[in-house]
């Protein structure tokens, strides 16, 4: 005689009470990454100084990167960009879209444990709190998001850990991997290889559809990030001039500094006060306002 044993879903929770405005958010529509970010990704006032949906207007240069992340034939995307340009914001948005629309085993690796804690508090939790559907994927509470160990979003495993603990991923099959601030990663993890090599090893199980997203602020020539960036096609963003329409790569040589009547630079404190430097178009010499820049 056999007895049916009930299966208990540890993440099953009572349906959340939602407002009419949230009903649309809880629809079953699967959206491309760019559409999802512009419709369902809310920025935190604590980090960005505003509480609003993410928009391509904040960084039009991210659109080609987003298209690469959505492209099923692209295996790796590496971004080498200045600080405060929105790299981590994009990476967090890709995580949210994966949880919501394209669940797959995923990991986010950052330089230190403190970086992981800060990312959860300032980016991940606000994103989940602003989207009713994301909270449901987390079992109804952001307290279920763990650092350094497994988090389950419905049936999707997710790992958030520091680069010096990346060896803990050994034996785990990962489909999507975010490596954030790779320039600050250690050269090696204990006796293991470097974090990038370990990450690629973890992606082998899903090699036909895996995705590695590496982002960093330039740190030092020859570090892990510089090495990977040099291997790629090194595409650069061409910015159109708001006056004449010329698209060009932004260069420091196009920055004009006010000078004295005899052609000498002003005191450094004067420049720090602002309004004594501007970016100009290399073709029409049109000065860009702060909004233009």
Question: pTM score > 0.85 for this model?
Answer: no
Mean pLDDT of 88-103: 93
Domain boundaries along the sequence of the chain: 30-231, 239-279
Which CATH number among 3.40.50.300, 3.40.640.10, 1.10.3720.10, 3.90.76.10 corresponds to the domain 30-231? 3.40.50.300
> Can you give the pLDDT at residue 203?
92
CB under 8 Å to 36, separation ≥6 — which residues?
A: 93, 96, 97, 100, 101
Measured between alpha carbons, how far apart are the two ends of the chain, in Å?
75
Return the C-alpha torsion angle 146, 150, 156, 161, nearest 10: 70
What pLDDT digit, counting tens, does each position of 274-285 carry? 788 889 999 898
Q: pLDDT-derived band of residue 12, with 50, 70 and 90 as boundaries?
A: very low
Looking at residue 219, its pLDDT comes to: 72
211-251: pLDDT as tens digits: 999 988 877 776 777 777 777 777 777 888 999 988 988 88
**Residue 289 pLDDT > 90:** no
Q: What is the mean pLDDT of residues 1-14?
A: 40
The pLDDT score that the predictor gives to residue 6 is 40
The stretch 159-166 carries a mean pLDDT of 80
The confidence score (pLDDT) of residue 46 equals 64
Cβ-in-10-Å burial (0-12, 13-18, 19+) of 88 comes to buried
| pLDDT, average across residues 79-95 | 87
Average pLDDT in the 71-82 region? 88
């Amino acid at each position: 005689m056999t007895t049916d044993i009930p299966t208990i879903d540890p993440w099953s929770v009572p349906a959340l009470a939602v407002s009419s405005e949230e009903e649309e958010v809880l629809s079953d529509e699967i959206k491309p990454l760019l559409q999802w970010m512009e419709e369902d990704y809310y920025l935190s006032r604590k980090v960005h100084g505003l509480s609003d949906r993410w928009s391509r207007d904040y960084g039009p240069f991210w659109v080609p990167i987003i298209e690469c992340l959505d492209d099923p034939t692209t295996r790796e995307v590496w971004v080498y960009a200045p600080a405060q340009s929105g790299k981590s914001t994009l990476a967090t948005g890709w995580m949210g879209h994966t949880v919501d629309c394209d669940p797959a085993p995923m990991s986010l690796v950052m330089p230190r444990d403190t970086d992981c804690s800060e990312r959860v508090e300032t980016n991940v939790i606000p994103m989940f709190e602003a989207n009713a559907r994301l909270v449901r994927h987390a079992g109804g509470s952001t307290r279920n998001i763990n650092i350094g160990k497994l988090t389950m979003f419905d049936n999707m495993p997710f790992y958030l850990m520091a680069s010096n603990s990346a060896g803990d991923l050994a034996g785990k099959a990962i489909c999507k991997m975010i490596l954030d601030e790779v320039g600050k990663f250690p050269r090696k993890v204990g006796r293991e290889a470097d974090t990038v090599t370990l990450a690629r090893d973890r992606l082998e199980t899903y090699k036909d559809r895996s995705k590695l997203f590496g982002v960093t602020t330039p740190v030092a020539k020859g570090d892990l990030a510089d090495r990977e960036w040099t291997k790629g096609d090194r595409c650069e963003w061409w910015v159109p001039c708001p006056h004449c329409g010329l698209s060009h790569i932004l260069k420091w040589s196009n920055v004009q500094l006010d000078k004295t009547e005899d052609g000498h630079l002003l005191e450094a404190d004067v420049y720090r006060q602002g309004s004594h430097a501007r970016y100009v178009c290399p073709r029409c010499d049109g000065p860009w306002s702060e909004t233009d820049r």
